[in-house]
Chain A
Amino acid sequence: MLIIKNLHANVEGKEILKGINLEVKAGEIHAIMGPNGSGKSTLANVLAGNKGYEVTEGEIWFEGKNLLELEPEERAREGVFLAFQYPIEIPGVSNATFLKTAINEKRKHIGLPELTPKEFLDLMKEKSKILGMDDSLISRSVNVGFSGGEKKRNEIFQLLMLNPKLAILDETDSGLDIDALKIVANGVNVFHNDENAVIVVTHYQRLLNYIVPDYVHVLSKGKIVKSGGKELALELEEKGYDWITSDELESQNA
């Protein structure tokens, strides 16, 4: 589904990603872990096409398409979804208006008719129930006056509504208490199936108790320095990041 080859990217002229290689297949969940400043969020934003990040080298292929040639909205319509670390507020635009526009853009792109109001309503009811969302959140302006937890929940609500092929969760666990974490994780698990894939970007192992990854990659200084199974996350939790990042540096120096 997703193939990343030797990806290099700059932010404000500074190289953050220094040669990322990663392949994600349908049905898989990958966790990207790493210390602060290792480039986790940069990777998530580059995949989504944020113009604040400049790709200087490498390739990204998504479902056989060259992702780097697509605008952010085209990537989204192709099925790339980013759950934002800091969801943005859009005053005066209701969640429902926003979502209906987004869904219909995507449906138009893949040649489906727009949802009827009834279909949209039913979909919204079904998905909001999974996340235990209050109806009022749906008619309120996008993220305006939402608590941190509500914002994150709203991101996962959008994920369920848009049902993309690839979901990238950027620190979705940050700022969530344990109950909210469980609800959000459950939302992701409801979403996940054999046809789609999830990339979980996180600093802590905690979320991975609930969203169980097939692969865990450790990012350090812009490179994936170690990959493994879900056990790797537990090991990281126990030992911290230092043992890997320093090992890796030593092996690089050797």
Chain B
Amino acid sequence: MEENVNKINQEVSDDMKVLDDLTKSEYKWGFVTDIESEVAPKGLNEDIIRLISSKKGEPEWMTEWRLKAYRYWLTMEEPKWPNVTYPPIDFQDISYYSAPKKRPQKKSLDEVDPELLKTFEKLGIPLEEQKALAGVAVDAVFDSVSVATTFRETLKEKGIIFCSISEAIREHPDLVKKYLGSVVPYTDNFYAALNSAVFSDGSFVYIPKGVRCPMELSTYFRINAQETGQFERTLIIADEGSYVSYLEGCTAPIRDNNQLHAAVVELIALDYAEIKYSTVQNWYPGDKEGKGGIYNFVTKRGACRGKHSKISWTQVETGSAITWKYPSCILQGDYSVGEFYSVAVTNNFQQADTGTKMIHIGKHTRSTVVSKGISAGRSKNSYRGLVKIGKNAIGARNFTQCDSMLMGDKCSANTFPYIEVENDTAKVEHEATTSKVGEDQIFYLNQRGISTEDAVNMIVNGFCKEVFKELPMEFAVEAQKLLSISLEGSVG
């Protein structure tokens, strides 16, 4: 009981912190840092790709890979099937490379541009403190180039590689060659092809055999320079029997023009390895009329290559004008496990079409999908999920739970479940609910002295609890805050 109550007290005080922040309704991280950027001219052609490749000091094989992807991309068409609408994107009107001009040394934080450090502070990423307090190693991506990396030494002792993808291409070409594009080939989809051609940075993680990564690895993405597309590439490899928890969080400044973000994340888990990938996404969603805001078209996929391997995706999506994203698991290894826990919040004119794919190939593979969609304002929130059980996936199991919550009567929630079963020993369960934040619930909380705003937060956080409990503690607190801010003023 005592322990229970202490836990509850912690939760309560976290809730209260969330409530304290409620007064700040404007997009809180809307500012543009004044750092000179080196920006490539707008447009895309083979020269631009060669420019990016040479800026990154890449070897010839990498340049060739990019060019192949680019040529393939030219033959493809933008996908039209998502349940979202937006004006056509002019891919020649985008600058594909931007790097802070004053490229800081990475030996210590003192050498990092003070402007940049200030930006991180505004974002709530005190690198200095993180070193001491949080035990989080941060590979901070500012625009497209990694500028500060901490905890490298500790990780190095364990043989863990945690660096920018560019560095990995130069320093660890064998690993990159073996795994890059092995989960998401450049032929996969339009945006994956584009990303493969032009990605400018991102993170690389390798956890050696039998190593349990001693800290949460974390990358904060941030789009800064105006009208620069951001094409991150993340590759995480967990070798046999290893474990890693990776956190990804994003914020972006206010701007007028829509921004395209097309990242690719590839995860590979070998025998008995486990990867936990958590995201809190808070990119600028556009203003109340729906202007501006980020287009977030992301391909995230993990391959459970080894037996008894496990990949777990947890995401809290509150930002972006448009989200198009399906973190997926390919369950190849026998007894491998895939999980997807998602909270997607849309407000005003935001649109989200998100979900997951669980592809069961190996025997006795298991997957769990828990999706919570919250729509407010005039937003559109769709869950799209595929569960596929292959011929040989004897004894495969899937459980999917898909809940939608509506706030107000101008928003919409949709569920598009696709289930394909080719093995009759498999067991697939799908549950779905839709609810409205009820006047009666709000009145009940009002009657106990809780304001409507706080009541809505409490109800929404309760609705998302199953997902929040999958997040690392400090991330869960941040996620709750984001939810409050995102939904402010949507009821009453």
Residue in B6, B451, B452, B462 whose beta carbon sits within 8 Å of that of A93 in the complex: B462
Q: In the complex, what residues of A have CB within 8 A of residue B452's CB?
A: 73
Contact code string B459-472 (vs A, CB < 8 Å = 1, else 0) = 10111111000000
Give the number of A-B contacts (CB < 8 Å): 110
**Chain A interface mostly:** helix
Residue A97 is within 8 A (CB to CB) of chain B in the complex: yes
Residues of the B chain whose Cβ atoms lie less than 8 Å from the Cβ of A124: 5
Q: Of B16, B438, B440, B448, which one neighbours A98 at CB under 8 angstroms?
A: B448
**Nearest B residue (CB) for A50:** B443
| 1-19 of chain B: CB within 8 A of chain A | 1-2, 4-6, 8-9, 11-12, 15-16
Determine the distance from Cα of A62 to Cα of B479 in the docked complex, in whole angstroms: 41
Top 3 closest A-B pairs, CB basis?
Answer: A92-B462, A93-B462, A72-B446
One of A91, A125, A158 near B448 (C-beta < 8 A): A158
- Determine whether the beta carbon of A120 is less than 8 Å from that of B440: no
Check B448 against A94 for contact (C-beta < 8 Å).
no
**B439 contacts partner chain A, Cβ-Cβ < 8 Å:** yes
Contacts of A50 in B (CB 8 A): 443
Q: Is the CB of B15 within 8 A of A97?
A: yes
Report which of B5, B6, B450 forms a contact with A102, defined as CB distance below 8 A. B450
Q: Interface size (A, Cβ < 8 Å)?
A: 44
- Cβ of A87 within 8 Å of any chain B Cβ, yes or no, is yes
A13 contacts partner chain B, Cβ-Cβ < 8 Å: no
**What 0/1 pattern do residues 1 to 45 of B give for CB contact below 8 A with A?**
110111011011001100000000000000000000000000000
Using CB atoms, name the residue of chain A closest to B446.
A72
- CA separation between A92 and B12, bound complex, in Å? 13
Contacts A73-B450, A76-B447, A97-B11; A139 near B459 (Cβ below 8 A):
no
Whole-angstrom CA separation of A120 from B13 in the bound complex: 12
Which of chain B's residues have a CB closer than 8 A to the CB of A82? 447
User: How far is A39 from B470 in the complex, measured between Cα atoms in Å?
Assistant: 48
- B445 in contact with A90 (CB, 8 Å): yes
Whether B458 lies near A93 (C-beta < 8 A) is: yes
| Residue A211 at the chain B interface, CB threshold 8 Å | no
B91 in the interface (beta carbon within 8 A): no
* Chain A, residue nearest B459 (CB): A90
B9 touches A120 (CB 8 A): yes
Q: 19 other contacts beyond A105-B450, A105-B454, with CB at 8 A cut-off?
A: A73-B450, A76-B446, A76-B448, A76-B449, A81-B447, A82-B447, A84-B447, A90-B444, A91-B462, A93-B462, A97-B12, A100-B8, A100-B9, A104-B16, A105-B448, A117-B6, A120-B5, A121-B9, A138-B5
